[in-house]
């Protein structure tokens, strides 16, 4: 599972960083999403899917 | 499935039980996610009661949040002014890309990490409030001694607004969100608040300060009017919301002693408890409105361009298709995505701050006063049924 993060769509709500801090962070200046792991281990699938679902702006997608 | 109501509904506001959504909204929800609704000005639009449909509309940029396009769900002076332009800085009422410009300036200030860095300060503010409460004659009003001062002090420090001026802006903020305020009271409160914060913005320009308004002033990307509008929005939003969650949440826990004991005794529960109280209580009493910019098909119905859509977020957060046993308060429920902070590009900017405040304040209160109890019968607690943000006017407690 590969994560795509569109920083142009991101509104910095922080739901991803709150849900899976091992995978997502926020930039200091703009608060937009920073991918710590674009291809996280399968054990994190459920948490990552939850973060993608919770993203309010549709900035996250899975491939 | 029963047939949807044959006549258009009106926006549901009457909560028969202090912690439950309006009964009408829940009954309509059983009949479908989308209902024809008559708005306060006679406009025939839509009401969303389902969780998935609410998410879909709130995240869809074919729906606008601009003031001048949205019809008022209930009669309210704030929506009845002749001139309903969006004021400079009121980014909550803007669409992309105008909204994006403001949001970008602010999101870096409200990240998960930054809010966690505030924890020690919020813990200190909380314990100072509890010290003062402990020294007061009982009963005390939990709103005035705990629920309001904590978020008020925190947002004032964060923005750089002198807390000593709180009497004025707390009064104005309450008047702005009171559905019973007259148009004159509303306009006066808004003018007061804008004049006060405009003065503060000018001071921040003159004397650089190490706070949010100071850094926005120094950044130079917003003019005085825009910065004043941002300040009004953040100050009002930082007050009424968390304050009402803390007071109403405490009331709900006092009425559910087994849940209260979990929050008090198990530090691991704090996080899910906050999300569950946000979901269960849904203090967004009169929620967002969006207006279709083009024809949109939703749930097998056609929402036509120009039609406004209102949302019952309390009902959407009790949707049985989304939550098991939605009418039960279960503080151990896994956090699953309620809509209390909204959804889409306008999802609450301050939500991570609110989470940190609640995660600290609820357990601290319950641990300091293990014998905390209502000082009046529960039915005598005055509910804020007439406010945009739901909660209690007062919560007399003893211990």
Segment B70-76 shows an average pLDDT of 87
Q: pLDDT tens digit string along B163-216?
A: 999 998 989 988 888 888 888 888 899 999 999 999 999 999 999 899 999 999
> Cis omega before residue B97 (within 30°)?
yes
User: CATH number of the domain that A11 lies in?
Assistant: 3.30.70.20
Residues B21 and B318: beta-carbon distance below 8 Å? yes
Q: Which two tokens stand for residue B79?
A: 């929506």
What pLDDT was estimated at residue A32? 96
What pLDDT was estimated at residue B176? 85
C-alpha B284/C-alpha B341 separation (Å) is 9
Question: Which among A17, A50, A58 has CB closest to B112?
Answer: A17
Q: Is residue B114 part of a domain?
A: yes
CB neighbours (10 Å) of residue B305?
A: 11
Nearest CA in chain B to A20: B112
pLDDT for residue B80 is more than 80: no
Segment B290-316 shows an average pLDDT of 97
Chain A positions in Cβ-Cβ contact with residue B348 (cut-off 8 Å)? 13
The percentage of chain B sitting over the pLDDT mark of 90, rounded to a whole number, equals 83
**Residue B215 burial (10 A CB sphere; 0-12, 13-18, 19+):** middle
Q: Is residue B12 part of a domain?
A: no
What pLDDT was estimated at residue B78? 62
Q: Is residue B1 part of a domain?
A: no
What pLDDT was estimated at residue B14? 92
Residue A45 lies in domain? 3-62
Listed residue (A12, A15, A14, A34) closest to B102, CA to CA:
A12
Segment B349-362 shows an average pLDDT of 97
Min Cα–Cα distance to chain A from B293, Å: 18
Nearest CA in chain B to A13: B349
pLDDT for residue B363 is more than 60: yes
The values of phi and psi at residue A49, to 5°, are -60, -40
Q: How many domains does chain B have?
A: 1
Residues B309 and B289: beta-carbon distance below 8 Å? yes
Q: Is B109 an interface residue toward A (CB < 8 Å)? A: yes
> Mean of the per-residue pLDDT values for chain B?
93
User: CATH number of the domain that B344 lies in?
Assistant: 1.10.630.10
Q: Is residue B196 part of a domain?
A: yes
Question: Which among A15, A29, A50 has CB closest to B108?
Answer: A29
Q: Is B348 an interface residue toward A (CB < 8 Å)? A: yes
What pLDDT was estimated at residue B270? 96
pLDDT for residue B1 is more than 50: no
C-alpha B201/C-alpha B213 separation (Å) is 7
Handedness of CA A14, B112, B151, B95 (dihedral sign): negative
Q: How many domains does chain A have?
A: 1
What pLDDT was estimated at residue B175? 87
Min Cα–Cα distance to chain A from B148, Å: 24
Q: Is residue B16 part of a domain?
A: no
Q: Is residue B296 part of a domain?
A: yes
Which residue pairs from B180-185 have beta carbons closer than 8 angstroms and sit at least 24 positions apart in sequence? Answer: B180/B386, B181/B77, B182/B77, B183/B77, B183/B80, B183/B81, B185/B77
Chain B positions in Cβ-Cβ contact with residue A59 (cut-off 8 Å)? none
Q: pLDDT tens digit string along B221-232?
A: 999 999 999 999
Q: pLDDT tens digit string along B373-398?
A: 999 999 999 999 888 899 999 999 99
Residues of chain A with pLDDT under 50: none
Q: pLDDT tens digit string along B224-257?
A: 999 999 999 999 998 889 999 999 999 999 999 9
Min Cα–Cα distance to chain A from B111, Å: 6
Q: Is B61 an interface residue toward A (CB < 8 Å)? A: no
Nearest CA in chain A to B96: A9
Q: pLDDT tens digit string along B50-64?
A: 999 999 999 999 999
Q: Is residue B17 part of a domain?
A: no
Q: Is A16 an interface residue toward B (CB < 8 Å)? A: no
What pLDDT was estimated at residue B79? 57
Q: Is residue B70 part of a domain?
A: yes
Residue B279 lies in domain? 23-398
Question: Which among A53, A54, A56 has CB closest to B344?
Answer: A56
pLDDT for residue B83 is more than 70: no
């Amino acid at each position: 599972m590969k994560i795509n993060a569109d920083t142009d769509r991101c509104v910095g709500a922080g739901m991803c960083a709150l849900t899976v801090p091992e995978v997502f962070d926020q930039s200091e200046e703009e608060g937009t999403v920073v991918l710590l792991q674009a291809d996280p281990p399968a054990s994190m699938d459920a948490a990552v899917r939850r973060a993608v679902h919770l993203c309010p702006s549709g900035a996250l997608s899975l491939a | 499935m029963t047939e949807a109501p044959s006549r258009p509904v009106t926006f549901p506001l009457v909560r028969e039980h202090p912690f439950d959504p309006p009964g009408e909204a829940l009954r309509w929800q059983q009949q479908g996610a989308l209902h024809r609704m008559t708005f306060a000005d006679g406009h025939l639009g839509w009401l969303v009661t389902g969780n998935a449909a609410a998410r879909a509309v709130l995240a869809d940029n074919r729906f606008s949040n601009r003031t001048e396009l949205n019809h008022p769900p209930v009669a309210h002076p704030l929506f009845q002014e002749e001139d309903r332009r969006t004021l400079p800085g009121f980014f909550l009422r803007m669409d992309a890309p105008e909204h994006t410009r403001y949001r970008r300036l602010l999101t870096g200030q409200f990240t998960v990490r930054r809010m966690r860095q505030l924890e020690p300060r919020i813990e200190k503010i909380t314990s100072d409030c509890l010290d003062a409460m402990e020294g007061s004659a009982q009963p005390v009003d939990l709103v005035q001694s705990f629920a309001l001062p904590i978020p008020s002090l925190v947002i004032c420090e964060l923005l750089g607004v002198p807390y000593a001026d709180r009497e004025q802006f707390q009064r104005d903020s309450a008047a702005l969100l009171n559905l019973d305020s007259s148009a004159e009271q509303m306009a006066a409160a808004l003018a007061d608040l804008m004049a006060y914060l405009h003065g503060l913005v000018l001071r921040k320009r003159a004397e650089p300060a190490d706070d949010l308004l100071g850094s926005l002033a120094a950044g130079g990307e917003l003019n005085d009017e825009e910065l004043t509008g941002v300040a009004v929005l953040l100050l009002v939003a930082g007050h009424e919301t968390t304050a009402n969650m803390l007071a109403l949440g405490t009331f709900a826990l006092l009425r559910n002693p087994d849940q209260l004991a979990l929050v008090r005794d198990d530090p691991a529960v704090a996080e899910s408890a906050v999300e569950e109280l946000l979901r269960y209580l849904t203090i967004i009493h009169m929620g967002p409105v969006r207006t279709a910019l083009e024809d949109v098909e939703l749930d097998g119905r056609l929402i036509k361009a120009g039609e406004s859509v209102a949302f019952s977020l309390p009902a959407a957060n009790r949707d049985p298709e989304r939550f098991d046993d939605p009418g039960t308060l279960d503080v151990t429920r896994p956090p699953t995505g309620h809509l209390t902070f909204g959804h889409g590009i306008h999802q609450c900017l301050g939500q991570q701050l609110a989470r940190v405040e609640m995660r600290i304040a609820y357990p601290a209160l319950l641990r300091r006063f293990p014998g905390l109890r209502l000082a009046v019968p529960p039915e005598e607690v005055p509910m804020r049924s007439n406010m945009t943000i739901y909660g209690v006017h007062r919560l007399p407690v003893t211990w």
